[in-house]
Amino acid sequence: MTPGIRPLIAGNWKMNASAREAVDLAQAVRAGATGLAAELLVCPPFPYVAGVCGLMAGSGVAVGGQDCHTAVKGAHTGDVAAAMLKDLGAAYVILGHSERRADHGETDALVRAKAAAAIAAGLVPIVCVGETLAQREAGQAEAVVAAQLSGSLPEGFEAAGGVVAYEPVWAIGTGKVPTEADIAALHAAMRAQLGAKTRLLYGGSMKPSNAQAILALANVDGGLIGGAALVAADFLAIAKAAG
């Protein structure tokens, strides 16, 4: 944790859940989201964003998208504008997730442009960074993340409340987690690069059994949760571990 920063526990549902399951999951998260110190956020697939925004209204649970386009509107078949998410009541958008960098060839420059578009539309961007296993084993993790941060964060990121999520690619969906010392070192390096106000999340195989130890580390201001966010009880247990 960082003194003065409210923790953020964010669920990235990725491309999961039927329409019915999305409603059930959102309702269960809402029902358990009282009296928490942490801010809660759920990021459903685009087709469910409107419905989940409606279900979360008045609950204090924030809703986000998993991507947005750089343009305000126009001829971009299949894409979603930041203003559309904002219009539905979303407050956040995840950008530059390693799955999008891998599946769609997203570069730091593109992520930066998307983050600028999100800020312009009034959304808070959550920009994801993280090294591959080969980069970690070559001792390049901190250098890779530093370069991703300098390339992916636009002007005004901190002032807009921008969030950074450190997600080592090799820890996502694998059950593998870096050592607490490695997470702490990486987050300290990000803190030194970014300044005191930016919320720094950890993501990658977070679950109820490891959340408390990870969230207690200096400069870890919350988590970006994948698999465990699809089970309301697990997501809420992680949220409780944030204090």
User: Contact residues for ligand 13P (CB under 6 A)?
Assistant: 12, 97, 167, 172-173, 203-206, 224-228
Closest to ligand 13P by CB, 155 vs 174, is 174
From residue 106, give the alpha-carbon distance in Å to each of 25, 36, 67, 137, 148.
29, 35, 11, 23, 12
Which amino acid, 218?
A
Q: Is 59 exposed, middle or buried (0-12, 13-18, 19+ CB in 10 A)?
A: middle
Select which of 97, 99, 106, 187 is catalytic.
97
Distance CA 195, CA 127 (A): 16
Which residue, among 241, 202, 239, has the nearest Cα to 219 in the 3D structure?
A: 202
Provide, rounded to whole angstroms, the least separation between the CB of residue 171 and ligand 13P: 6
CB 235 within 8 A of CB 215: no
Comparing every residue's Cβ against ligand 13P, the nearest one is 226
Provide, rounded to whole angstroms, the least separation between the CB of residue 107 and ligand 13P: 19
Closest to ligand 13P by CB, 148 vs 205, is 205
Closest to ligand 13P by CB, 120 vs 237, is 237
Closest to ligand 13P by CB, 82 vs 228, is 228
Which amino acid, 105?
G
Select which of 69, 142, 167, 187 is catalytic.
167
Which residue, among 230, 212, 236, has the nearest Cα to 1 in the 3D structure?
A: 212
Which residue, among 55, 38, 116, has the nearest Cα to 90 in the 3D structure?
A: 55
Report which DSSP code applies to 20.
Answer: H
Q: Does 167 qualify as catalytic in the annotation?
A: yes
Distance CA 130, CA 114 (A): 18
CB 109 within 8 A of CB 184: no
Provide, rounded to whole angstroms, the least separation between the CB of residue 17 and ligand 13P: 14
Provide, rounded to whole angstroms, the least separation between the CB of residue 75 and ligand 13P: 30
Provide, rounded to whole angstroms, the least separation between the CB of residue 14 and ligand 13P: 7
Q: Measured between alpha carbons, how far apart are the two ends of the chain, in Å?
A: 10
Closest to ligand 13P by CB, 178 vs 204, is 204
Q: Does 187 qualify as catalytic in the annotation?
A: no
Positions marked catalytic: 97, 167
